[in-house]
Amino acid sequence: MAAFTSSSTLPILTVMICDPHYDTPLGAFPSSLETLFCVFAPNARELFIRHGPQLENFLPAREVKEGLWEAQVDQNLDGIPYVIQIVPKDEFSILRENYTHILDPYALAALSARGPGIVVDRSRLPQPIAHREPIPMEDLVILEGHLRDLLGLCTEKYDRPTYATFHRWLSDRQSYLGQLGINALELQPLQEFDSLEDVEYHWGYMPVNYFAPTRAYATDKTIGSQIADLATVVQACHGMGIQFILDVVYNHVGEPNHLRMLGGDYFFRTNGDGTLTNFSGCGNDLRTEAAMARRLILDSLKYLVQTYDIDGFRFDLAELIDMETLKCIERELRAIKKGIYLIAEPWSFRGHSALNLKPTTWSYWNDDFRDSVRRYVLDTGNRDALRYFLSGCTSHLTRVPTQSINYTASHDDRVWIDGITETYLQDGRYPRPNDLQRTQLMFAILFMSLGVPMLSEGQDFLRSKGGACNTYKDGERNRLFPERLEQFQQLHAYVSQWIRFRLSPAGKLLRQKEAPADGFFRFFQTDDSESALATLYNADSSQGPRQLFFLINPDLHTVHFPLPDVSLGSFRLVADGHQFYEKNSLQRLSDPHSLGPLSCQVWRTDG
């Protein structure tokens, strides 16, 4: 995610209590005759629930255990707004007014980032008929995108972006996603975040509540329709055969910092001088190892899976989530949905945790793949690195190939074309011929590598941000434009063909669940290049008679591959750096085999 520092911190005294773990259900629970509220607020000396259309009703709560507060009203408040108000233990706080309007961390819907929350009867929550098991991880092709950016390609006229509009667009098989052919959509955060203006563009990486879908895209923000709205988006994905992955942020929170108001420093890591740590770059770091912080994370994740039938999660800055919590997530979510996708962004400003995740079933964004492929197509890398990434990194970084999410661009930093273009100031809006050829080489590497390929929205039609790097609030730069898609329709179609090939029976050799045997790969190199590489897949025939042969040359001159002991006549050309071929291609493998500059070829047997 994009890092930016919040300068606002609340001057709250550290709350010195034991680290309790309460199993009492938290949140608001309406029934036919009453509504019960339960809140964990170790920073409160007194606590009230304000409810009603204007929050005019005050309901005093009692502390039933240390830091655990309960209040009850003899009325069904389903659909009624409410907030928490506390008198903090720090009676001299200069920001006492902040404590009068706290959004319940367990609210299932909210009217804004500042609250109020909405009381929701759980009997009217979406009820999936049966939790579907996701397709196997090795069969995924992921697209990372932002709901609002993607709607830039929608031809429907709308006043503002909504879940409902996205649902209708997504359900059209002629839409961008349908034409591209991906089978997994990873949407940037949709939990309630700290955008206070409906029209404000926001990536969503500053969450203020982990249960409530953001009201920014709700059909009717006044009644909490975002719950049903988000459910229809997930259902639309499933109807299209697309797995739904949600980007979630459990390493820090946005503003207002409701958790700190309720808990003082209980929910946050601090330095020796009492100030908040900031390895997230966003002003605070959650103390995920705290019992009730861990419970908040687990409760919200389980709720999202059980309510919306979400297929997986990508965890922002997961290096800041302690390993025990990551193992709890793995254990408890797999008990609900065995094949759920758990994907970590394995770094923060504190460090990198990919190797720590190697013994687990977690996958992670492979930033080494991203950086190395970029260097390779610019001919500043080497073929040893390419061997490593083609084989799924199982010689070091991963235990099995599916732990590596292979990508070359994401929402963060410069988009692909801006990062590799030969144009001035890394402005890829007007790419040069070499830029296009290098992009085609990149896609070939991405789809010929073991692991899980991930595209960034618009990468298939050279989406450019004009060289800009951090665009977390720049909706105009981030939006996808149909004119750009039309301009580079040929590249879009080429990428779509790669996806179809990857998911075809011929591509099964690339979709390895386990680390293949040592003899699975055979590599060939040339004497006239330090980078060009040829790779034979299933060289030992351990996985049947079918074989693939991939040759790539990032140099600006022709290279010649010696191919001893290869049954050349059994291979036919599938694709090169520009197109895919039908069965009747007249090209043949030869020994030695010549390959032109900035080019590649994929061959296959018919076994």
Listing DSSP states for 52-99 in one string gives STTS-EEEE-EEEETTEEEEEESS--TT-EEEEEEEES-TT-TTGGGG
Closest CA to 76 of 51, 103, 109, 110: 51
- Give CB contacts under 8 A, 24+ apart, made by 57-63: 58/85, 61/37
Token digits for 549? Answer: 């042969």
**Residue 56 belongs to a domain:** yes
**Residue 539 belongs to a domain:** yes
**Residue 414 belongs to a domain:** no
Burial (CB count within 10 angstroms: exposed 0-12, middle 13-18, buried 19+), residue 522:
middle
**Residue 533 belongs to a domain:** yes
**Distance separating the N- and C-terminal Cα atoms of the chain:** 44
User: Are 131 and 307 in contact, with CB atoms under 8 Å apart?
Assistant: no
- Give CB contacts under 8 A, 24+ apart, made by 360-364: 360/326, 360/327, 360/330, 361/330, 361/334, 362/326, 362/330, 362/403, 363/137, 363/402, 363/403, 363/404, 363/405, 363/452, 364/318, 364/403, 364/404, 364/405
Q: What's the Rg (C-alpha) of the chain?
A: 26
Tell me the average confidence (pLDDT) per consecutive run of 10 residues in the chain, 607 residues long.
42 55 96 96 97 97 97 97 94 65 97 96 85 93 97 92 95 91 98 80 95 95 92 95 98 96 96 96 97 98 96 98 98 96 97 96 98 96 95 96 98 96 94 98 98 98 96 94 98 98 97 96 94 98 96 97 93 96 84 97 91
User: Among 120, 135, 164, which residue terminates a domain?
Assistant: 120
User: Are 12 and 88 in contact, with CB atoms under 8 Å apart?
Assistant: yes
Residues spanned by the domain of 59? 27-120
The rounded distance, in Å, linking the Cα atoms of 432 and 455 is 21
Token digits for 492? Answer: 């879009």
Count of domains observed in the chain: 2
User: Are 65 and 41 in contact, with CB atoms under 8 Å apart?
Assistant: no
The rounded distance, in Å, linking the Cα atoms of 319 and 251 is 8
Residue 226 identity: Q
Q: Backbone dihedral region of 319: left (phi > 0), alpha (psi from -120 to 50 degrees) or beta?
A: alpha
The rounded distance, in Å, linking the Cα atoms of 101 and 261 is 10
The rounded distance, in Å, linking the Cα atoms of 353 and 351 is 7
* Phi, psi torsion values for 72, nearest 5 degrees: -140, 140
User: Are 119 and 223 in contact, with CB atoms under 8 Å apart?
Assistant: no
**Residue 593 belongs to a domain:** yes
Any residues with CB less than 8 A from the CB of 299 and at least 6 apart, and which?
26, 106
Any residues with CB less than 8 A from the CB of 112 and at least 6 apart, and which?
196, 215
Q: What is the CATH number of the domain that holds 33?
A: 2.60.40.10
Burial (CB count within 10 angstroms: exposed 0-12, middle 13-18, buried 19+), residue 383:
buried
The rounded distance, in Å, linking the Cα atoms of 406 and 367 is 8
Determine which helix (DSSP H) or strand (DSSP E) holds 332, and give its type and residue range: helix 323-336
User: Are 123 and 165 in contact, with CB atoms under 8 Å apart?
Assistant: no
User: Among 88, 120, 152, which residue terminates a domain?
Assistant: 120
Q: What is the pTM of this model?
A: 0.96
Residue with tokens 């951090």: 470
407 three-state secondary structure: coil
296 three-state secondary structure: helix
Token digits for 129? Answer: 């008929």
In the prediction, which pLDDT does 95 show? 55
Any residues with CB less than 8 A from the CB of 134 and at least 6 apart, and which?
243, 311, 312, 337, 339, 340, 341
Torsion sign across C-alpha atoms 458, 459, 462, 468: positive
Closest CA to 265 of 462, 70, 446, 11: 11
534 three-state secondary structure: strand
User: Among 89, 120, 151, which residue terminates a domain?
Assistant: 120
In the prediction, which pLDDT does 221 show? 83
The rounded distance, in Å, linking the Cα atoms of 523 and 564 is 11
In the prediction, which pLDDT does 92 show? 53
In the prediction, which pLDDT does 199 show? 66
In the prediction, which pLDDT does 582 show? 81
* Phi, psi torsion values for 456, nearest 5 degrees: -100, 145
In the prediction, which pLDDT does 14 show? 47
In the prediction, which pLDDT does 293 show? 98
Q: What is the CATH number of the domain that holds 557?
A: 2.60.40.1180
**Residue 146 belongs to a domain:** no
**Residue 588 belongs to a domain:** yes
**Residue 582 belongs to a domain:** yes
465 three-state secondary structure: coil
The rounded distance, in Å, linking the Cα atoms of 550 and 566 is 13
